[in-house]
Structure 1
């Protein structure tokens, strides 16, 4: 089950990256840095990235068609 989830998340991330390149002006300067099943986990990693200095700002966006939260920073 873990292998299947890892493959699914990788596929969703790759598809998400390919769809976001030039697709939405809102994320024109942001890049996809993670995909999460739970909003709380997306928020936690986004906040961690800000406190660690990995990025200055982030947003977690629910994509209903994939049923995952995408973390943009």
Structure 2
């Protein structure tokens, strides 16, 4: 029998492994610089968001109608 020669190909890594991220220490804040956080007010909905919701509702209604028709069949 012939002996098969198996060669391992070792390719160099394409890039260095990712480094662990070290969080930076937070800078001490001056009391004067600190602004009081205001509660977030919901931003007004855009026309696109309203249209998306309208279309989503239409699709849901059509799906319900299709499910009813499938149950009747």
TM-score by length of 1: 0.29
| Higher RCO (CA-CA < 8 Å; seq separation 6+) | 1
Return the index of the structure with the highest Cα Rg: 2
TM-score by length of 2: 0.29
- Larger fraction in helix: 1
